[in-house]
Amino acid sequence: MKNTIITRLAAALILIAPLAACGSGSEPAEEHGDEHGSEAEPQKGKHGGRIVKDGNFSAEVTIFEDGQEPQFRVYPMLDGKAVDPKTVKLTMTLKRLGGEVNSFAFVPEKDYLAGQGVVEEPHSFDVELTAVTGGKQHIARWSSPEGRTKITAAAAKAGGVEIATVGPATIGEARELFGTIQLATSARSEIRGQFPGRIVAVTKAVGDTVKKGQLLARIESSESLQTYPVYSTVSGVVAERNGNPGDVTFDRALYVITDPAQTTVVFNIFPKDLGAIQPGTKIIIETMDGQPIADTRLGGYLPEGNAAAGTALMRAAIPNRSGRLRPGMALRGKVIINAVQVPLAVRTEALQRFRDFTVVFASYGEEYEVRMLQLGRKSPEWTEVLSGIKPGTPYAAKGAFLIRADVEKSGASHDH
């Protein structure tokens, strides 16, 4: 199934075609690839960098990062021969996906011009290089995509890609609790006759639904011999009927009526969690197969415990308006302990490996691109981000592995 989805997704993917630019005069020419739009392999220089040209000016552009932060190094040439970098005034502008623009000035060092600033990851951008030498301006433009791909909205939806936004989150240790449904203590009402006497008639049986004010029985008073009605004081379901016509009532409840909408879950708390799980802790309640039921908070510890299991007990009230929860049903809960609020986090399932980095894929319409992250605290749901992506950035929270697979197929590599 997974292979089928990837195949279908890959068929819908459109690789962003990089443009290599060079030329002469005020309007630099651009290099084009084949008729299908793929880029020709860029010419490499002796330092392993890309050769760009405009007229008789050319330069080898590298990103140097051995033992230091990434830095542009540009080796200038005229007519294919190296020139003194002191005779060249150079600037470079990078336009990144999402609209960010980085500008770099250069100063001469040894036989190259050194960019003043760090080239942040990813090294994926459209570049414009402007060089002035001998009183003449030269401009070269090219595209250098890395870790980037394009996926149509329909293909992304079919592949299960879901987008979230980078922002604050609560991170802590997850604990799983198990409990059973019980009726709330307020869900049980006992209906009695006002005076002792003989039951003349009853109108409801166990399991019947009743409304508040509905007639339940008629009783002949033993004192006055007058027959009086007994009405329900609540709405609910008849759980017990403790009398039949001809029986004599005293102080026992004639009917017990329960409200199935008032339910609670009683959870077992193991000794190792007693210090960490406190009243008021938020809990996410699910069915045993993972279907969500409710988000609520734990009440206090109950006076009695579960002696057989060696656990303490805590109660969490949950509504049962649909009536699907039944007393005795097993449920599970998830709580976060030692929780801290962090200013920047992503979904843990969004994290992927790319080269030597842990990344997420930033989303800009139908385009996706890696963001290399420095990470902090981690939980099964959230991971703290220390650097590498800006607040408010949309990213692929689900389906990210499909995007990674397509990026790897595209061959958008770390080209220096």
Helices marked H in 234-353 — which ranges? Answer: none
Tell me the whole-structure pTM to 2 decimals: 0.63
> How far is C-alpha 105 from the chain's CA centre?
39
Mean pLDDT of 111-130: 96
Q: What is the mean pLDDT of residues 296-320?
A: 90
What is the SS3 assignment for 8-49? HHHHHECCCCCCEECCCCCCCCEECCCCCCCCCCCCECCCCC
Q: Which pair of structure tokens corresponds to residue 175?
A: 């604990």
Task: Give pLDDT, residue 87.
Answer: 97
| 225 pLDDT above the threshold of 60 | yes
pLDDT at 42: 84
At residue 3, the pLDDT reads: 44
Please tell me the distance from the alpha carbon of residue 206 to that of residue 215, in angstroms, as a whole number: 15
- Helix count and strand count (H, E) for the chain: 3, 33
Q: Could you tell me which of 377, 304, 306 has the C-alpha nearest to residue 344? A: 377
Question: Is a pLDDT exceeding 80 seen at residue 16?
Answer: no
Beta bridge partners of 306: 311
| 19 — pLDDT class (breaks 50, 70, 90) | very low
**Percent of residues, the chain, with pLDDT higher than 70:** 89
Secondary structure element (H or E) that encloses residue 174, with its range: strand 167-183
Using DSSP bridges, classify how beta strands 374-378 and 136-144 pair: parallel, antiparallel or unpaired. unpaired
Lowest mean pLDDT: which of 2-11, 103-112, 202-211, 381-390?
Answer: 2-11
Which residues, including other chains, have CB under 8 Å from residue 77's CB and lie 6 or more apart?
57, 58, 59, 60, 83
Question: Of the ranges 233-242, 339-348, 402-411, which one carries the lowest mean pLDDT score?
Answer: 402-411
Domains and CATH numbers, the chain: 17-144 (2.60.40.3340), 150-172+341-410 (2.40.420.20), 174-183+261-338 (2.40.30.170), 194-252 (2.40.50.100)
- Tell me the C-alpha distance between 140 and 27, whole Å: 9
Look at residue 211 and tell me whether its pLDDT is greater than 90: yes
Say if residue 137 is exposed, middle or buried (CB neighbours under 10 Å; 0-12, 13-18, 19+): middle
How far apart CA 294 and CA 24 sit, in angstroms, is 67
Q: What are the structure tokens assigned to 273, written together?
A: 């969690």
Provide the mean pLDDT of the chain: 88
CA–CA separation, 240 vs 101, rounded Å?
75
